[in-house]
Structure 1
Amino acid sequence: MRYVAPARDSVDPAVFARMPLAGWRDFSELLEGAPWPSIDALNQRWPDGSRQRFVAQTPALLGDGLHYEQRIAECGLIATRENNWHDLLNAMIWLRYPSLKQALNRRQIDEMKQMGPKQRSRAQYAMTHFDEGGVIVALSDPSLLALWDAHDWYGLFWQRRQAWLDGSIQVELFGHALLELALNPGKLLVGKALVFHIDKSADLRSSCAAAVASGQLLHDPLELRPLPLSGLPGWHADSADEAFHRSTPCYQPRRAGRSYPPVFVQSEPEPG
């Protein structure tokens, strides 16, 4: 069944105080204000010199004959439905992660040139999955990765709970569809993760954007590890209870034969 986001005036305000939406407090006037933000209000958020602009998705705009990705690449115009949660949240992702969104756009265009308009490659599916439901994860402890790869969710989220609190493992939500699901407090969130090991001086966002732009990642959906985000401390009302981690339906066993790629290692380049 297709998910339908709640009406703006019926969203439970409590969802904005809980992760992942609590991590977007700098956009609170766009999320929590009574009226829908205008396209102009979104564009005012771009830093000076940005090429991209949001533009209302109207029949006249769509009449240009361009694919959504082409319009961004060629004109810098991001078609955005007004009064629409999915597109508003996508706009927020663009504003926070412009380099990564641009990298995905360029890669999508390259794939479209090879595949044509009616077929999609495995790489295109991988990029779409990440764009909609992606999370970026940094970790340094191999024992955490072993629990994750084994789908030992009780071990990862309960027995090693402190690792999620002390920074041993860090998560940045990128997928706008996950934010849309989070508008409903009863939803159990599962992200599709790219996992990095980076040195302490490196920036997780720029490392991910560089790896995607260079074509080192996102060639197949199977690169993405499932991560049940509702298990993270504070991401679900019941995540502080041990019983939740023994019985929640978002903790699925690993499929027979399923394996994951190694963690991507990237550090910041040496200066000069």
Structure 2
Amino acid sequence: MRYVAPARGTIDPAAFARLPLSDWQAPSEWLLGEHWPSIDMLNAARPATMHERFVAQTLALLEDGQHYEQRIAAAGEIATRESNWHDLFNAAMWLRHTALKRALNAQQVAEIAHMGTRVRSRPQYAMTHFDEAGVIVVLRDRRLLHLWDAHDWHGLFWRERVAWLDGRASLEVFGHALLEHALTPDKLLVGKALVFLAGADGSGAGAVCAEAIAAGRVLRDPLELRPLPLSGIPGWHPDNGNETFHLHADCYQPRRAGREYPLPSVL
């Protein structure tokens, strides 16, 4: 069933105090204010490195006949529905992760040139999954990867619960649909992860990820992406402080027979 976001002003305030939304309250009035931010406000927040701009998605705009991604590449115009949570969070991702968004757009346009606009390729599906639900994960403890490979969710999120607090596992949310779904506080969130292994310093994962996407080294198939039940991470769901949650939560699915994951990149 397609997710329908709650109306502005009706959302439980607890949603904005819990990850991932608690990390996206700058400027807080975009989420908590009485009024939606305007297209002009979004454009005013663009970093100096961002030449793309947000434009209202109107019928007149869509009459140009261009695909959404082609319009961005050709004119730098990001069609944005006003008063819409999904597109507001997409704009937030463009502002925070401009290089990642730009790399995805370039690869999407390259695939459209090859496939046309009516048929989607495996790389296009992979990139869309990551754009909507993507998470960049940095692991500093390879043992966590073995638990993840086996879908040992109890081990990864309960026995190794402290790993998500002490820096051995860290993540950055990229998928804007994840932020939209988080508006419903008890919703179980599952991300699509690209994983990196790091030593003592795991900084720079976003830049490395953007470069890998731009070079066509990752996101060539949806099966590259690892499911990550984000609701198991401390602070991401109100019930995950109880071991029972990690034994029975619906977001924890067993690994399918024969499913293998690619080796993570090393920072």
Is residue 176 of structure 2 the alignment partner of residue 176 of structure 1?
A: yes
- CA-to-aligned-CA distance 1:68-124 (integer Å, 9 cap, x gap): 001100111100000001000100011000000000000001111111111111000
Q: Which runs of 4+ in 1 moved over 4 A?
A: none
In the alignment, is the contact (CA less than 8 A) between 1:69 and 1:108 conserved in 2?
yes
Partner SS state of residue 226, structure 1: strand
In the alignment, is the contact (CA less than 8 A) between 2:56 and 2:82 conserved in 1?
yes
Aligned to 1:76: 76
C-alpha displacement of 1:226: 0.2
Aligned to 1:145: 145
In the alignment, is the contact (CA less than 8 A) between 1:198 and 1:204 conserved in 2?
no
AA partner of residue 257 (structure 2) = A
Aligned to 2:38: 38
AA partner of residue 99 (structure 2) = S
CA distance in 1, matches of 2:49, 2:253: 45
Is residue 251 of structure 2 the alignment partner of residue 253 of structure 1?
A: no
Aligned to 1:222: 223
- CA-to-aligned-CA distance 1:2-54 (integer Å, 9 cap, x gap): 11000001111110000010111223111111111111111110023531100
Aligned length: 266
Aligned to 1:132: 132
CA distance in 1, matches of 2:163, 2:224: 23
| TM-score, normalised via structure 2 length | 0.97
AA partner of residue 240 (structure 1) = G
The alpha-carbon distance between structure 1 residues 198 and 142, as it changes in their structure 2 partners (threshold 3 A), is: closer
Unaligned runs of 5+ in 1: 267-272
Partner SS state of residue 27, structure 1: coil
| TM-score, normalised via structure 1 length | 0.96
Partner SS state of residue 9, structure 1: coil
Aligned to 1:62: 62
State percent identity of aligned pairs.
63
- CA-to-aligned-CA distance 1:230-261 (integer Å, 9 cap, x gap): 00000000111111111111111111111100
More moved, 201-210 vs 158-167: 201-210
Alignment of 1:1-272 (within 5 A): 1-48=1-48, 50-199=50-199, 200=201, 202-266=203-267
CA distance in 1, matches of 2:218, 2:75: 26
C-alpha displacement of 1:201: 6.2
CA distance in 1, matches of 2:202, 2:177: 30
C-alpha displacement of 1:66: 1.0
AA partner of residue 118 (structure 1) = R
In the alignment, is the contact (CA less than 8 A) between 1:126 and 1:219 conserved in 2?
yes
AA partner of residue 179 (structure 1) = L
AA partner of residue 262 (structure 1) = L
CA distance in 2, matches of 1:209, 1:29: 29
What's the RMSD between the two structures over aligned residues?
1.0
In the alignment, is the contact (CA less than 8 A) between 1:148 and 1:156 conserved in 2?
yes
In the alignment, is the contact (CA less than 8 A) between 2:191 and 2:227 conserved in 1?
yes
CA distance in 2, matches of 1:241, 1:201: 30
